[in-house]
Every structure is written in structure tokens, then in C-alpha cells.
Structure 1
């Protein structure tokens, strides 16, 4: 679940080519009186955002939540919120709150990029709303590392071949954690998913909705499931797309995610061969063997690039490959990137893909996605106690996911040294008493394996499984008419598709 973020086809196309007046309420605001207000939080639940125009038809506001829900009179966090108002005010249902995943993804950026690609019924009848969760982007962001520090961290060999390389990786991970302790110690205990889900109920009330209508992708499904667990009676309709299985441990999640990337790589190899003239091999097995040999060679001798002075290490190459597997529209780009790297020792395109994955700008600056991603993941679940214990899981991952296992699992190593740890073991989330919740799974999803959607739908007392027989990470907004129709109809009417429906 490291940077398992939603990337829509519309966003991919945009990426590949590469306050504020009036309150805007329009008299449509409802009261939140139907839902109970937790003790001591009345002032948060009753706040009315001051919406301001913020370009291109969007409106922006800030909603206050307590840093620590056990001390609501203490320090506060301002959540950055954006909305695209409903087109049909007279038939407006309410707000559709969204989250694009991560953890660490900006919901404000997501809505700016993708709101107008939502189904026409949704745009007509809902305000499409995004927010930056606590610690993310414009909502009191957790910032631990400078650009050069992150460059060094990502270039570190995340598939160590001996104890020396393992110790080097351990040192880099320990330094990452120490920097977060130094720069963000007061925030770290409170940035986890449980608190972010409580923030969503404050947002629901502030938006004027009696019950929550929500679309969450990738990690956003985990956030949505925690919301339903804590506030089952406040659920109107939840779509959880690209589901995360909440009952898995931190290392189990990473191992299963690595296996998902292996499945997606196999699909890419089959597609390359099927399309004809594949420069990587004449059979899927040959393509995968060539990629494996290429990664081993890059481990010995990193690639050059035409963007800057960085060497494209094996770790950066794997990151670039992983980024391309998120959306099928990127497969031709991956084919080009690998051909260029193998034939010319030029890692320019792979590096560009890797930079896109972790939101690194050309000037060497990063968004806070990586810092926030680590901060949330490290406090959400217990972590192995030390480097040796962690290494056993990495070795297990290498056996079942030889190309991606070590990189995905070792990527979570800073959590071993994290200054804030939880002892709360993961468990199934049932959301007993909630209205029907639709869980969407994509059969060859690289970042959130299909069986996670099956598991989450089974755990939720009112879970309904909707399957996309396709490729890429998440299903909605990828252009499949069957998925779009089923999702939009449910969000508008609250009538879910038949459990077990398959599209694609």
C-alpha cells in the first residue's frame, strides 16, 4: 500500500503531455441534524465552510478538525476542500466526497483533474468534492525530507544482495524516520486512517449532508471502510474501488501488492507479444526473462539519463516499470522505455516515469506524498521489530514476486524505526448496520490485488462485489460503460448492482 494511488485515464493523458467570490451555496445546504454529533465536537460539526471561487468553476474552502479527537479544544488542523458544484441545483442530491488514494494523494488535485470525467448523472446531481487528508498537500502537510534527501533514498538499493547492502538500506530508512521525528513529531501520532475517517464525518456535516455519499479509490477504500466501521448509520452510499484488505498485516499487504505487480507485468508481456513486433521477446516468458536480466544488469551498472545527473539505479528502474503498470494506456510508454534502456543504456524515460510515481518535479522538488504516505502507513499497523525480522518478509516476497517483492517490501522499512508505533492489530471491518457498500475489484490490478476486493466485500456486512475483468489500477473512470453505469446508478439511487456482477 505504498503510494497505491488512483490514476484515471484522463489523468494519464494529461500527465503524458507532460482563495478566491461569493459563498456559492445557492440555497441548497441541508442540515446535518439526522446524524448524531459526537460529544465535544459540536463546533466542528456545525461549521459552515466559506466557499470561494478558485478558478475554472471550482470552489474552495477550509474545514477545521481537531488534531487530537481526545482533546477537541486543543490544536486544530485545517483541511483543504474543493468542490465542483452540481449542475442541476433543483435536483441536487448532495455532495459526493472523494479520495484518490495513496495514502498521501491530494484529493484537491484529484478533483481538479478528474471531476468533469465523472458520469453525467453524478455531475448533474452531486457536488463533486475532494479534500486533502490531514498531513497531506495543503492540509498541514507532514514534511520530513528535502529533494536531495529523497533522491538519495529512492536511489538506495532496495533489493540488497548481501549484509552490507542491507545495512546501507537500514541506515537510509533509519535516517528517514529520524528526520520525520525531528520535523513532524507533534503530527505523527494523529495522521493515521482512524482520525482521517473521523475527519470525513466532520466534512459530511459541514457539507450539509445527513449521510455520506463517497467514492474512494485504492487507499481511499481503506479510508472509506474505516469510515463505515466508525459511522455505519451515517452511510448513504459508498463505492470502494481498488480495495485494500484491512485484515492483513503491514508486511502481508506489501507482499500481496508485490504479487499484484507481477500479475500486471505478465499481462503487459502478453500484450506486447500479442500486439506484434514486440522488441522485448517473442513469448511472454521471454519478455519477463529479458526484463529480469535487464534489472540484474542495471543493479551492476546503473543507466544514464538525459534529464539530470542522477544515475538510474535498479530501484529507480523498477519504480518506473511499476508506474507504467498502473494504467494500461501507459504500456506503450513502458515498451518504449524498456527498449531504450536495453538497447542504448538510456534510462531517461524510466526515470521520468519513476519521478511521476513519487511526484518529483523537474527542478528536484517533491510534493509531500512520500512523507505523508510513510507517516500514515507506519502508524496504521504494527511493524516488525528490527532489520533482521523485516528481512525475513523481504526474502519471502522475493520468492513469490521475484522482480517486485524486495522493492515493495523493503520500501516500508522506515516504519521499523518510526517514532510512533501502534499495538492495535489489524482486523476485519464489518460496518455492521451500514447501507449497502459497493466494492469494485479489477482482476489484474497491479497495486491492489483482486482478491483484496473479494475479501473486503466479504468482510463488510453489507458488501456488494462488482468486478472489472480488465487491467490497471482501479476501474471507475477508466472508460468501461458497464462499470460507469453500475456505479453511477448506485450513487444516485442507492440501489447497488447484483452482488458478483462482472463487467469487461
Structure 2
């Protein structure tokens, strides 16, 4: 799903949604052709600083409801970067962002130049902002700002594991979304993102697409490959969650407890290394001392939050815990986390909050993050005592996540039933999928990815990378893993069997 926090997900990373919200612009008005006609895309330059100079954007009309294809049309913002070597071009590669809530247009701006270099003109690159994101059609739940902080949208228990506030917030969030979200919010589903991707394929005039999906985007890609197997060319699933159709996002979230536990030793080894002394970031003499230090500091901040450099937004215990989760996505975030811990320990220090924790998300961004996971599958309406028990057990076993991954969410009070049952991933379809996966992924841990690998059977090969983190290709990965993906996309060659890359 990549560097933190670009793969935003209520379950995995939400900061991409923050960034998308801060940079999105309104989409231009367009005539809405009948859904049965092939949509026409009117491309216009939309390059951003640091992105590909040739990036273009357009608006794709899509049905609000695919059961009524000629009814009301909404729009998704789409983007492309044409191959700079037409003679080498072999097709179109869809870049599918993480989330729910990640911007494909922004992702293409961030990764387009690297993809051009790596793929040597083999593809036109395309992406889109899923419904609810960026310049696509959005919805609002009408949530109060205090309910839109990441530490609120993630259901972090109170001190000592109390969930009364979580339950009340989840209930009022579900009620607000039902009251204000309208049919647009109800249409924010993985199934519709898959349909919208196929509509983009049609608008591009392509018989088949290749794809690189990361994190939640890998799940979208897997769903597309299951629904439209003969419309897929070369398919890359990067950092994949368990596809269990009975749990979907609920399972991804629950798996984060163990994922963080498996990943944190990488940070602990870094933070205890003598090299950190020169920057004043060494947290302990030995790696095994780092986790108890961080857990104890979070507990102290539960009792006594520290004023931060953001007026009115203190550093709380849950703020520190969320900062830890975000930093585990990529090694490049380790210095920032160590600095936050060091400053929070200093009685004279004033901690600087990471940007994704310093302000509430936009209401539109919170709505899509919540909407997709609650619309995709039915969540159990468990009792408060059942959630309280689950939180107590999980926080005892996994102190770093403190029970958050199994806590109550708005989905338990959601007012509408899923319109599309999640598609079960199977081994039926062409053998054209390459999975790339970290052994120590905090958001989509390896044991969950292995469930996807088993479900795909002979359709896939898997490359497991020793590098810890989330989102590997052209991000947290290594030369071996990157080479495996590039070779597959440019030549079609995959390993003859599942393999691994050393760090």
C-alpha cells in the first residue's frame, strides 16, 4: 500500500486521504452521456510539481447505480501519462491506490516518473480517484471535527481499555452518515470501484488492462481479476490482505495487532543502534528495551497529555500509538518517530505532531473511509460486553495496538445492508498474477497475504521480501523485489515458483 502515510485506510493508512483532501480541486462540469454509450474522455494537462510533465486529467462519467446504467451519472477524476516511447508501448497499466480513501490521480503524480523510468515506455499509465475521493463525486456525513481526527476514526480505547466513548462515537457516526450521506455514500463500495475501473478500460478503448494495486488497491485488483479475468493482462498485487469475504476490512483491521508486533522489532533495532547517538535519537541501549519504553510513555500520556506545537491538540497516549502505527509503514519514518518519543520524554520539550495527527480529516474524506468498509460487508452487532472483552484480550497480548484493531466501529451500527456480497477470490482464471509481499508488514501482514496466495492457487506467483514495511514496489522494497515486478511487467516473466528476496 509506498511510503507512509500515502496508503491511507481507516484500517491501514488514512493520511493519504488527508493529502488528497488538501490538494483536490473541483472537477469540471461535463455532459453526462447515456451509460450504454462508450464514454469520451476530454484530456487536459494537469502536471504538478515533482510529477510527470506529461500528466493529463479528464472526467469519466459512471452510473451512480450500475443496476440502472442509464440513470443518474456521477463522475470520477481520471489521469494518464502516455508512454514516452511509443515504439516500446505494449499496453496500459492501471495504478490502483490504497485506502479506502487513496487518490489514484495523486498516486500517479507521485510514482509516474519512477514508473516511466522503470518500465521504459512499455505502458501508458492511468489512474483514477475512486468515488468519494479528491475531484470525484464525494459525500459528507456531517461529522463534528472532534470525530474526524485519525485517533477518533481509528477506534483507540480510552485509558485502561474503556470503550464507552468509542461506542457512543461509532453510533453517532453511523447515524450521521445515514442521515447525510445519501445515495452517493451508499455507492462507495469496492464492487463499484471495480466496475468504474472497467468503465475506464472501456473508455480507453483497451481490450485488456495491466495493473499495479497496492494495499487496499491490491484487493481491488484481485476483485477485478475475479470479476473480469479475461480483461486482465499482467497483474501485480503489492502488500495484500486476507480476502476472506465474510470479514473483509474487519479481518484486515484485526490482523494489524499481530502485524505491528512483527514489524516493531525493526524500529527497535534501529532506535537502539549506537549510530543514533550522533543524532540524539537513540532510545535505549538494547532493542528489547524500546517497546516497554514506548508502551510506558503512551500510558503516561494517557494520564497526562502533553501540549504540542499545534495549539489545542495535545499529544495523547493514543496519538503516540497512532504515530507508531504510521511510522511502521516505512523505515524512512523511523527518525520522526524517535524524535517524537525523545521530545515527549523531555519535561522541557514540546512535541511536534505528525501532520496527519495535527488536524481533523475533511468530512468528505472521513465519509469515504468509513463508507467503503461499512458498505462492503455486514459487521456483527456484538454487545458492548463482547467488544470490551475482545479489547481486553487483544491489548494484553499486543500492547502496541492496545485493543484498537478489535474495537467497535460505526459499521456495527450501520443503517444499510451491503448491496453487493464480496466476491470470493478463487483459482479460476488466467495465470497472470504476481504478488510481492513484505515478511514484516504492519498493515497487511504476511499471514494474511498467504490466504490470498492460497485462494489464487495456480493463477499467481509470490515474491516475499525480507524488507519490513508496507507497499514494496518502488517504495519500501529492495532491488530484488523491484526487479521481479519490473521483469514481469515488461517481459511477462515470473518466477517458476514462489520465491523470496533477501534484504
- The TM tier, using the shorter chain, reads 0.7 to 0.9
1:101: Cα distance to partner? 0.4
Residue among 314, 322, 325 paired with 2:325: 322
In the TM superposition, 1:260-271 aligns within 5 A as 260-271=259-270
Return the alpha-carbon distance in structure 2 between the equivalents of residues 326 and 70 of structure 1.
39
Return the alpha-carbon distance in structure 1 between the equivalents of residues 149 and 225 of structure 2.
39
Partner of residue 76, structure 1: 73
Return the alpha-carbon distance in structure 1 between the equivalents of residues 378 and 420 of structure 2.
7
In the TM superposition, 1:30-429 aligns within 5 A as 42-43=36-37, 46-55=38-47, 56-118=53-115, 120-122=117-119, 124-145=121-142, 148-151=145-148, 154=151, 158-161=156-159, 165-247=162-244, 249=247, 250-276=249-275, 277=277, 279-344=282-347, 346=349, 348-352=351-355, 354-355=357-358, 360=359, 366=362, 368-388=364-384, 389-410=386-407, 413-422=409-418, 428-429=424-425
CA contact (8 A) 2:319 2:357 kept: yes
CA contact (8 A) 1:236 1:435 kept: no
Partner of residue 480, structure 1: 478
SS at match of 1:476: helix
What does the per-residue CA deviation read over 1:186-215, in whole Å, with 9 as the maximum and x for residues that have no partner? 123321111111111111121221112000
Could you tell me the TM-score, scaled by structure 2's length?
0.85
What does the per-residue CA deviation read over 1:93-119, in whole Å, with 9 as the maximum and x for residues that have no partner? 222111120111111111112211226
Return the alpha-carbon distance in structure 2 between the equivalents of residues 231 and 65 of structure 1.
18
SS at match of 2:429: coil
1:4: Cα distance to partner? 2.2
Partner of residue 454, structure 2: 458
Root mean square deviation, CA, Å? 2.8
Return the alpha-carbon distance in structure 1 between the equivalents of residues 14 and 82 of structure 2.
22
SS at match of 2:431: coil
Partner of residue 36, structure 1: none
Residue among 485, 489, 492 paired with 2:490: 492
SS at match of 1:477: helix
CA contact (8 A) 1:466 1:499 kept: no
What does the per-residue CA deviation read over 1:393-443, in whole Å, with 9 as the maximum and x for residues that have no partner? 333432332221422333x61111122233977674015123321111101
1:234: Cα distance to partner? 1.1
Return the alpha-carbon distance in structure 2 between the equivalents of residues 242 and 432 of structure 1.
22
1:185: Cα distance to partner? 2.5
Return the alpha-carbon distance in structure 1 between the equivalents of residues 222 and 402 of structure 2.
26
SS at match of 1:47: coil
Range that drifts further, 301-310 or 271-280: 271-280
Return the alpha-carbon distance in structure 1 between the equivalents of residues 361 and 195 of structure 2.
31
CA distance 1:209–1:494, shift in 2 (3 Å): farther
1:147: Cα distance to partner? 6.8
1:444: Cα distance to partner? 1.1
SS at match of 1:267: helix
SS at match of 2:352: helix
* Aligned length, in residue pairs: 466
Return the alpha-carbon distance in structure 1 between the equivalents of residues 425 and 148 of structure 2.
37
Q: What 5-or-longer segments of structure 1 have no aligned partner? A: 21-39
Could you tell me the TM-score, scaled by structure 1's length?
0.85
SS at match of 2:346: helix
1:262: Cα distance to partner? 2.0
1:492: Cα distance to partner? 2.2
CA contact (8 A) 2:139 2:182 kept: no
1:136: Cα distance to partner? 1.7
CA distance 1:7–1:314, shift in 2 (3 Å): closer
CA contact (8 A) 2:297 2:345 kept: yes
What does the per-residue CA deviation read over 1:166-200, in whole Å, with 9 as the maximum and x for residues that have no partner? 22221111122222122212123321111111111
Q: What 5-or-longer segments of structure 2 have no aligned partner? A: 1-8, 29-33, 48-52
Return the alpha-carbon distance in structure 1 between the equivalents of residues 400 and 251 of structure 2.
17
